[in-house]
Amino acid sequence: MEVLKEGTEGSIHDLDVDDVLRVDVQGSNFFFHVNDNLIDQVNDAAYPSGEVGFYVESFDSPNTHIHFDTFTIRDLELSLTCTVANDGTLNVRSGPSKTFSQIAVLSNGDSVEALGKSPDGLWIKINVEGSEEPGWVGYTEGFLSCTPDIDLFPIVSP
């Protein structure tokens, strides 16, 4: 067993109201939701597929009973799209940094299929039209409009 993330969540209800816990899985990316609110995303590169278990405990009160009426783990299929939303151009690079070579240019209104985001969330990996190799664009709010929100993009390796 390996701890992927620790923390607390303030949106959990009191004892008189049920809470809904959901984990969406896309490859090695796990999206944790409490009451339909995304609370965190964890990437476990050592988990390409298989079974998932879930363990919850309270460190403050070791004898606390934690009960879930419904716990769902589901495969997540997202259609990731980004559209250039500024009046200029956006450079597509061969890797997630300005030090990588420019391989294409996107203009205002161009839409691309996104594959995921870099671990630091600053770059988006995209399919480049006419190329077998993907490209990377820097993510700056206001320059790219992405669906769904970039918080839901899986983390991908360069």
Tens-digit pLDDT profile for residues 41-75: 777 777 766 666 666 666 677 666 666 666 667 66
The phi, psi pair for 121, rounded to 5°, reads 75, 10
Q: Of 2-6, 29-33, 100-104, 116-120, where does the model show the most confidence? A: 100-104
Cis before 148? omega within 30: yes
Lowest mean pLDDT among 15-29, 102-116, 130-144: 15-29
Q: What angle do CA 23, 28, 32 make, to 5 degrees?
A: 20
Q: Which two tokens stand for residue 107?
A: 């203009």
pLDDT at 56: 65
> Nearest-CA neighbor of 106 among 73, 72, 78, 81?
81
Task: Tell me the percentage of the chain whose pLDDT exceeds 70.
Answer: 77
Sheet containing 21-26, strands listed edge to edge, beginning at the edge strand earlier in sequence: 37-43, 29-34, 21-26, 71-75
Domain ranges of the chain: 21-75, 81-152
CB atoms within 10 A of CB 30: 21
pLDDT at 57: 66
Name the CATH code of domain 81-152 (choices 2.30.30.40, 3.40.390.10, 3.40.50.620, 3.10.180.10): 2.30.30.40
Q: How confident is the model at residue 93 (pLDDT cuts 50, 70, 90)?
A: very high
pTM here? 0.61
Is the pLDDT higher at 117 or at 57?
A: 117
Q: Of 15-24, 118-127, 145-154, where does the model show the most confidence? A: 118-127
